[in-house]
Amino acid sequence: MQEKLFDSEAKVMEIIWERSPISAKDISLIAAETIGWNKNTTYTVIKKLEAKGFIRREDPGFICTPLISQNQMQKVEAASLVKKVFGGSRRALFSALLEDEPLTEEEIDELRKLIDNR
């Protein structure tokens, strides 16, 4: 997947991931309540997501379903961040993340398990 997920698109994808399948109308109602968007803004973002291949929209009712999982998108976005900000170095990313915030023993154990299971 080469397409970038912009912030506005990510907000709509969150709604879709949480409630899929969901109508475009329901997405617009939730976006109006949680983000303050009007219907036209939401529908424009839905059309962009469909054009990019992130969602499928079907009649009747313009029912939206994701074509990429939240986990897949997180991996794509994380890889992009590592490449763009850290020169492709995952070590540099982890170093930056761990530098300023202390971790609990439980968090350290979880991270060790993730590394050991690779």
Nearest to 97 by CA among 106, 105, 112, 86: 86
54 plus 98 within the same structural domain: no
Tens-digit pLDDT profile for residues 92-108: 988 888 888 888 899 98
Q: Which residue range(s) make up the domain with 98?
A: 88-118
Residue 109 is classified by DSSP as H
30 plus 54 within the same structural domain: yes
59 plus 117 within the same structural domain: no
What domain count does the chain have?
2
pTM above 0.95, yes or no: no
pLDDT for 20? 96
4 plus 40 within the same structural domain: yes
44 plus 76 within the same structural domain: yes
Nearest to 72 by CA among 7, 13, 118, 114: 13
116 plus 73 within the same structural domain: no
Q: What is the mean pLDDT of the chain?
A: 92
26 plus 59 within the same structural domain: yes
